[in-house]
Amino acid sequence: MEKMSCILTCFLLSIVLSTNAEFTKKTYIIQMDHSAKPDIFSNHLEWYSSKVKSVLSRSVESDIDNNEEERIIYSYNTAFHGMAAKLSQEEVKKLESEAGVVAIFPETKYELHTTRSPYFLGLEPIQSSNNSFSEKLVNHDVIVGVLDTGVWPESESFNDAGMKPVPSHWKGACETGRGFRNHHCNKKIVGARIFYHGYEAATGKIDEQADYKSPRDQDGHGTHTAATVAGSPVRGANLLGYAYGTARGMAPGARIAAYKVCWTGGCFSSDILSAVDTAVADGVNVLSISLGGGVSSYNHDSLAVAAFGAMEKGVFVSCSAGNSGPDPVSLTNVSPWITTVGASTMDRDFPADVSLGNGRKIIGTSLYKGKSMLSTRKQYPLVYMGGNSSSPDPRSLCLEGTLDRRVVTGKIVICDRGISPRVQKGQVVKNAGGVGMILTNTAANGEELVADCHLLPAVAVGEKEGKEIKQYVLTNKKASATLAFLNTRLGIKPSPIVAAFSSRGPNFLTLEILKPDIVAPGVNILAAWSGVTGPSSLSTDHRRVKFNILSGTSMSCPHVSGIAALIKAKHPDWSPAAIKSAIMTTAYVHDNTIKPLRDASSAEISTPYDHGAGHINPRKALDPGLVYDIAPQDYFEFLCTQKLSPSELGVFAKNSNRICKHTLASVGDLNYPAISVVFPEKITGSVSTVHRTVTNVGPAVSKYHVIVTPFKGTVVKVEPNTLNFTRKYQKLSYKISFKVTTRQSEPEFGGLVWKDGVHKVRSPIVITYLPPM
């Protein structure tokens, strides 16, 4: 009888739980057909409200809930049309079949992809910050919207001295709240808004004592990215003495509009979508979005859909590629209308020495500066809590609670990278009584060194050196070491190098669209910082700094956003695609030793799957000679090749009259600045032809001839092989034929360059031979 009672109880409990799940409300983004609003409704929000009310669950509980809360949390009207609403599974199913509903996206959580760069990129002379190249464009009213964690307005990087009044076309606002008032906006920060309804629906109310429910930046990330885009010049900028010099953004004459979409617990798609929609309506020219949330099909990616709408309105959208490298196929934000940015190093380093007791000296990196300095005249006992086993040991990773104070006190501890944040490992060592840390790379990081502002003396070393140090400790009972910090070193060679953490291609959504598009400085970048967070971002870090050094594609993305602003300032009529083309076709693929770009994770030559078109070259991008332009309908035609159903295509159609005109013979014919050809499993002799059209934006009378890299397995032919322009903005087309002679087991990489004696317009080429199934 007891057994029967237990089964009945479990059965009833399962019914209750499944019923609760069915009626539990979550946030969904509902895209609506803007043109389908019946005339009986005076506005779209009224129509949306009626739709939601028509599907509400009729249970007693839900009736109570419906009276207590507003289901619709956002209405979208510009780059995207629809709403975000809190609905149950049952209500969503009903709504899907309602007339006028185009698509429903579940709420998605996104994560942030966490000043020498202007000089390294050729934007200013090394001796002076006055009259720098990009400051000649200050009179142009370009506004960059930065979607991030907000902004710290008191930073000197947001000084508006000498700037003209806010442009009349600007429709944005300066929203106020705790720690943020109207006067915090100025002629540099022209707008500041917050978006939190999706966040609160998912996580509960924001703790206003722990986080600013205002545009003020608690975290520091948003301040850093905004200053990288368009920070005003600040002399004497440094982090605890490191990287001393003038800090300035890529486009110091541009304006910044801060859209706070990320909070302590993350960033949510309904908030991001509302920010994109609002920013476009406000009048931004460029959107800089240093966050990502994985890869889904184009029509299921709400950020991609919103970015499509922004592009239609003439807004350039730049997004970080992600920090999941060096694993292949690790990219986010891969839509062709988004500029996807990977990360690279600069020619600046922060060296630190590890001097072992056996006389060996190993060079690593660090940003440590504190009272607890180790004596270089003394050796300290060295300990490694791991072993020779290949299986991971939590102690070797210096995770919280894994270190034995009796073993660690007074010693330098070796910690492997992985699982926990790098600076947190140092805090764990410090709490256990350690006097220093050597942070060793694993195979995932290779020889790439990322400097951190540690809370105790600590040096990061590469994988090979790390193995050497660990071998020394494991074979010597009296192993010892000391650490020395050598400040800032310039002129590092080779540079740039593709960062190991930078996410990689290929783009498996569409192999014919090469991603990432470009790489830009993203390692050890100095920029403005929040006034309430320490440079390590740990709660135990009570240091306060005006500038911080960070690494990530979050840092490389605003470099490209700022350079896009420079191009927009010089060429205000250019489309987002033309700006992107200028950036990609002028990129370089050699380092400062005139050798091919290399990959930090392997020290091997990098490929377009790592660096895209190459490393950004701002001066050249302002005068590219030719551009590959793409109109919104062309991008829609690309989507027509992606085997999407009419309803899935409707997500991008914006109105019911837009149809596929089938102007692209194949997906490879999208007029993209990069060329990626895919050969399916067929016999040798396969031929593929792609077409491109270039627009002359250089001298009216220009003659270009083409040069193509030879390939092992394929013969490439370009027709015509010369282009003769007779007027500015003239368009000329050419075709590229690829004939397989010997199928290769690996992709082949090369390039196509159009030259006129002044300009070099380069497109990377990738040839992929699909293996037998």
- The answer to whether 141 and 114 are in contact (CB under 8 A) is no
Backbone angles phi, psi at 483, to 5 degrees: -125, 140
Any bridge partners for residue 677, and if so which?
Answer: 767
Cα–Cα distance for residue pair 716/175, rounded to 1 Å: 56
Q: Are strands 351-356 and 361-365 parallel, antiparallel or unpaired?
A: antiparallel
Residue at token pair 């890869």: 295
Tokens of 665: 């013979």
Tokens of 244: 């001393």
691 catalytic per annotation? no
- The answer to whether 422 and 551 are in contact (CB under 8 A) is no
Catalytic residue among 141, 148, 591, 629: 148
- Coil/strand/helix, residue 103: strand
Catalytic residue among 554, 575, 606, 763: 554
- The answer to whether 559 and 250 are in contact (CB under 8 A) is yes
- The answer to whether 771 and 710 are in contact (CB under 8 A) is no
How far are the Cα atoms of 39, 324, 519 from residue 608, in angstroms, in the given order? 52, 16, 10
Radius of gyration of the chain (CA): 28
- Burial state string for 186-218 with b = 16 or more CB within 10 A and e = fewer than 16: bbbbbbbbbbbbbbbbbeeebeeeebbbbbbbb
Which residue from 431, 436, 402 is spatially nearest to 419, judged by alpha carbons? Answer: 402
420 catalytic per annotation? no
Any bridge partners for residue 490, and if so which?
Answer: 348
Q: What is the DSSP letter of 151?
A: B
Cα–Cα distance for residue pair 549/528, rounded to 1 Å: 9
The residues near 408 (Cβ < 8 Å, ≥ 6 apart) are: 383, 429, 432, 433, 434
- Coil/strand/helix, residue 220: coil
- The answer to whether 452 and 339 are in contact (CB under 8 A) is no
Q: Is the peptide bond before 764 cis (omega within 30 degrees of 0)?
A: no
Catalytic residue among 113, 140, 184, 221: 221
- DSSP for 373-421, written as a single string: PPPTTS-EEEEES--S-SS--TTTTT-TT-S-HHHHTTSEEEEE-BSB-
Which residue from 627, 616, 517, 499 is spatially nearest to 559, judged by alpha carbons? Answer: 616
148 catalytic per annotation? yes
Tokens of 427: 């805090």
Q: How many residues does the chain have?
A: 773
Which residue from 603, 595, 332, 634 is spatially nearest to 462, judged by alpha carbons? Answer: 603
Cα–Cα distance for residue pair 706/11, rounded to 1 Å: 73
Q: Residue 286 class from Cβ within 10 Å (0-12 exposed, 13-18 middle, 19+ buried)?
A: buried
Cα–Cα distance for residue pair 464/442, rounded to 1 Å: 9
- The answer to whether 739 and 714 are in contact (CB under 8 A) is yes
Secondary structure of 505-536 as H, E, C letters: CCCCCCCCCCCCCEEEECCCEEEECCCCCCCC
Q: What is the DSSP letter of 637?
A: H
Indicate which residues carry an active-site annotation.
Answer: 148, 221, 554
